[in-house]
Amino acid sequence: MTKIAIIGSQKSGRTTLASKLGKKGNVTDITIYDFAKSGTVLTVIDATGYPKSIKPLITALNLTDIALLCIPPEGPDAYTGECIVALEMSGCKHGMIVLTRSDTTYPYALDELTEKIRKITAGTVLENWEHLPVSTTTFAGMDELKEMITRLGETVDEELAQ
């Protein structure tokens, strides 16, 4: 079972993305979404109480194997920086940066955003994470995201078995 934390600023599209990855379950400061298909079981944790409180962000990261940092087309903000610091402090090794609402911007702007994020994350645990543009309205990138999550989940499972 792969546990995935979806984090980002309030308007990063993280909750919409979480709802597309699983069926809504428990709701508190975090919301849990579950997905099971063909032997694959995912638990998606959305830190819904963040950024009003830092506690949901820390809780989500403590429960997770993989983190998805959602960044909207407008680019990183102070909360994105806070998420990067939290990921670094928690030592989260596995994750990816999801460029949300990719259908609302131009491909060139996404390339510029990716380059900006690479500069910001240099020297952190996020430095070598994949960057993936997705759209929850057109579903562009969603299949690729699920494949990447599955591959990362297999890596995590292998590490935990050692």
Q: How far is CA 154 from the centre of its chain?
A: 17
Where in 9-139 does DSSP place strands (E)?
A: 23-27, 31-37, 40-46, 66-71, 95-99, 130-133
Q: What pLDDT score does 102 carry?
A: 85
Q: Is the dihedral of CA 80, 83, 93, 138 positive or negative?
A: negative
What distance lies between CA 93 and its chain's CA centroid? 13
Band (pLDDT 50/70/90 cuts) for residue 128 is: very high
Structure tokens given for 106 = 């131009």
Q: What is the pLDDT of residues 145-162, one digit of tens each?
A: 988 998 998 899 888 888
Counted domains in the chain: 1
Question: By residue range, what is the domain housing residue 113?
Answer: 2-161
Identify the CA nearest to 66 among candidates 26, 7, 21: 7
* Span 30-79, pLDDT tens digits: 999 998 877 778 899 999 999 999 999 999 999 999 999 999 999 999 99
Tens of pLDDT, residues 69-127: 999 999 999 999 999 999 999 999 999 999 998 888 888 889 999 999 999 999 999 99
Q: Identify the CATH number of the domain in which residue 143 sits.
A: 3.40.50.300
